[in-house]
Chain A
Amino acid sequence: MARRKIFFEIFIAIIILSIIGVAVYNYIDRDNLERYSRTELILDTIFEVTIFVDEEIEGDPLVREAFDKVRALEKVMSRFVTNSDVDKINQQAGKEPVEVDPRTFYVIEKSLYFGEASQGKFDVTIAPLLNLWGFGTGEEREPPEGEEIEEVLPLVDYQEIELDEENMSVFLPREEMALDLGGIAKGYIVDEIAEFLEGEGVEHGTVNAGGDIRALGTRLDGNPWRIGITHPRDRENIIAVIPVTQEAIVTSGDYERYFNHEGERYHHILDPDTGQPAGEVLSVTVVAPDCITADSLSTAVFVLGVEEGMALLESMSQVEGMIVDLQEEKHVTRGLKDLIEIR
């Protein structure tokens, strides 16, 4: 009898101890990782890097180095920075080919690929049209006249860009042509930073350039990062949540940059064929393995509209997405349907 009693007591003790064990385990993070985060206004947007690293990696210098890289890439790829590669290409348009950084070359090559894939709806030579509309300068103004647009439209054609792989040079054949990598460079820079951090041994983190997001690994608790998609009209709320792991997610919307004129709203995503703001959808969200793909495709699909856009998203492997049309109806690709949480 006494022995049975002892067993009973040991049994009770084990149960109590395991409950305590579980409580302690849940209370403390699985890994003893430190969070480092930094936010800067850069690249014409808000750039945020957050990483979770253990004590062996010094987080602060790593995040600072990441931002140094962002600044360096901005100096190469922004068309508003004097003497950047893009600025030089635009200055020398119609005159002579410009030798560029291999990274710039790669981004332009990629942009031509996405131009092809989207039947020309994604076009990096759209700068003259953007200048005409006056986006990017931040000032309110009247929309341009139809004639003015007609004059500029022939200048917008990505197929005329001449790339010379041997000399790493880029040439725009006509003087008034100009490049704008705004729709793709941000994604590329996010990728570069994410891959740099991965190379330094970061397993959990996020790189976020004003909504162009690339997630490293998972959350600390092992679950996917949960990304909220802001409602395109009711900005205070979210329209859906998409869980992502080791993926990039980008949303393009008509509310990011726009101006109003006589009750009409003019936003910054222009159709290279008509020269007018694309008007078929409210917002496009693309999930892809890398941010350069997600960034350029979100712009392209926005211009393509619901039907052709969905077809493009479905046709590309490992790419998923959601389109919100003018009736606020959500169109979700097949691969995303089971994952997305519509709010």
Chain B
Amino acid sequence: MHKTTKLVYLALLVTFAVVIHTIESALGITLLVPGAKLGLANIITLLTILLYGFKSGMVVAVMRCFISFLIVGNPFTFSLSLSGAVFSTLIMGLAFIFYKKGFINVLTISILGAAAHNTAQVIVASFVVQIPYYTLLSFYLPVLLLIALPTGVFTGLAAMYLHRLVGKNMAISRSMGGVKKEFTK
């Protein structure tokens, strides 16, 4: 029972992520420098990690990238988004451990995820478009790291409120199994 419900919800989350991802790339919002994005799809990844843990988060992130690739069909964007998604999910999963121990909050997970996302994207982009690595490290990376702070806070807030909201849903909280003490706070 739990497993099936969880699977359904994960599928739903992937769908949301794909839609948000597609809309964001269609809008083409770039913040100040090429490569800097709001990273709205990270909201869903983070939400998944909060709900079902790191493994599910990784599944959603990777699935999201593959399905978006089928829709958008640009291998360059695909390699960028996949590397960003995988790396940021890894970091967020790591941060999630400290979150559970109560050291850090959701916003910080999100910021770390955004920073990891941007870093990975810049590095992969430099392989593809041949930016000299000096420009990359010195110019783009600090800017993208700084931008990760506000965008991370934004996606983190969104994930936090979504988490509170859907956590009240009985079906979801049941599908989560163990981790639900969060909402009682």
Contacts and interface: CB of A to CB of B under 8 A. Distances in A.
Given A27-B143, A28-B143, A20 B149 contact: yes
A228 B90 CA distance: 55
Contact of A20 (B33, B34, B107, B146): B146
A24 B31 CA distance: 10
Interface in A19-42: 20-21, 23-25, 27-28, 32
Given A24-B143, A24-B146, 4 more contacts: A17-B150, A27-B143, A28-B32, A28-B143
Contacts, number: 22
Nearest to A23: B146
A24 B147 contact: yes
B153 A24 contact: no
A316 interface: no
Nearest to B144: A24
Interface residues of A, number: 11
B32 A25 contact: yes
Contacts of A13: 107, 153
B64 to A, nearest CB: 27
Interface in A39-53: none
Contacts of B143: 24, 27-28
A326 to B, nearest CB: 51
B32 A20 contact: no
Interface string B31-45: 011100000000000
Interface of B: 32-34, 107, 143, 146-147, 149-150, 153
A169 B32 CA distance: 56
A16 B107 CA distance: 14
A22 to B, nearest CB: 11
Nearest 8 Cβ contacts at the A-B interface: A17-B150, A24-B146, A28-B32, A20-B146, A20-B149, A24-B32, A24-B143, A28-B33
Contacts of B146: 20, 23-24
Contacts of B147: 24
Contacts of A28: 32-33, 143
A32 B32 CA distance: 8
A167 B122 CA distance: 64
Contacts of B34: 32
A24 to B, nearest CB: 5
B47 to A, nearest CB: 21
22 contacts: A13-B107, A13-B153, A16-B149, A17-B149, A17-B150, A17-B153, A20-B146, A20-B149, A20-B150, A21-B150, A23-B146, A24-B32, A24-B143, A24-B146, A24-B147, A25-B32, A27-B143, A28-B32, A28-B33, A28-B143, A32-B33, A32-B34
B180 to A, nearest CB: 21
Contacts of A32: 33-34
A32 B143 CA distance: 14
A25 B143 CA distance: 10
A33 B169 CA distance: 50
Nearest to A28: B32
A327 B34 CA distance: 55
Nearest to A30: B32
Interface string A123-149: 000000000000000000000000000
Contacts of B153: 13, 17
Contacts of A24: 32, 143, 146-147
B109 to A, nearest CB: 15
Contacts of B150: 17, 20-21
Nearest to A25: B32
A32 B34 CA distance: 9
B21 to A, nearest CB: 24
A60 to B, nearest CB: 18
A17 B34 CA distance: 20
A313 to B, nearest CB: 45
Nearest to A18: B150
Nearest to A14: B153
A155 B171 CA distance: 104
Contacts of A27: 143
Contacts of A17: 149-150, 153
A17 B149 CA distance: 7
A28 to B, nearest CB: 5
Nearest to B105: A9
A28 B143 CA distance: 9
A28 B107 CA distance: 26
Contacts of A25: 32
A191 B149 CA distance: 48
Nearest to B34: A32
B62 to A, nearest CB: 30
A20 B143 CA distance: 10
